[in-house]
């Protein structure tokens, strides 16, 4: 099995709507790293799993949406005071935990890949902690 990995960095803030931690229910941010792993038993006609440039084209629109944004779940949108600020707001239909962000990114990327490629997405929320999603 061949595997490639590409890293993407972005800055984002979020509010977790159902967190056990009072701190995480407050507005806070992270310097995220998203790692995308693509695996294949065979190589394509260019003797690659997938071109790194093509992978960047697939992932960049998502990174552009998330970078320097405030991410919050639709269900708490009206509870958050933000209307007087010029915020790049990313309203999502999930609690924006690293786990849910990894699954969302997986779904985003997976639709653009050839079916024979295997995908795994890892979201680093801190230097020492990450969440991962694959099927």
Query: What are the tokens at 133?
Result: 């999603």
pLDDT digits (tens, 9 = 90+) for 8-52: 999 999 888 766 666 666 778 899 999 999 999 999 999 999 999
CA 61 vs CA 52, 55, 91, 105: distances in Å: 15, 11, 16, 11
Domains of the chain with CATH codes? 2-134 (3.30.479.10)
Q: What does the pLDDT average to over 126-135?
A: 96
pLDDT digits (tens, 9 = 90+) for 64-84: 999 999 888 887 666 666 555
């Amino acid at each position: 099995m061949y595997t490639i990995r590409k890293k993407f960095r972005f800055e984002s803030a979020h509010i977790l709507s159902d967190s056990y931690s009072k701190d995480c229910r407050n507005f806070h941010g992270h310097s995220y790293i998203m790692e995308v792993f693509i695996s294949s038993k065979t190589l394509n006609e260019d003797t690659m799993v997938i071109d790194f440039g093509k992978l960047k084209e697939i992932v960049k629109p998502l990174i552009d949406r998330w970078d320097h944004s405030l991410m919050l779940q639709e269900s708490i949108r009206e509870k958050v005071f933000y209307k007087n600020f010029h915020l790049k707001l990313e309203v999502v239909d999930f609690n924006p935990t690293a786990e849910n962000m990894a699954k969302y990114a997986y779904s985003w990327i997976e639709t653009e890949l050839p079916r024979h490629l295997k995908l795994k997405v890892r979201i680093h929320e801190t230097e020492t902690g990450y969440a991962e999603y694959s099927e």
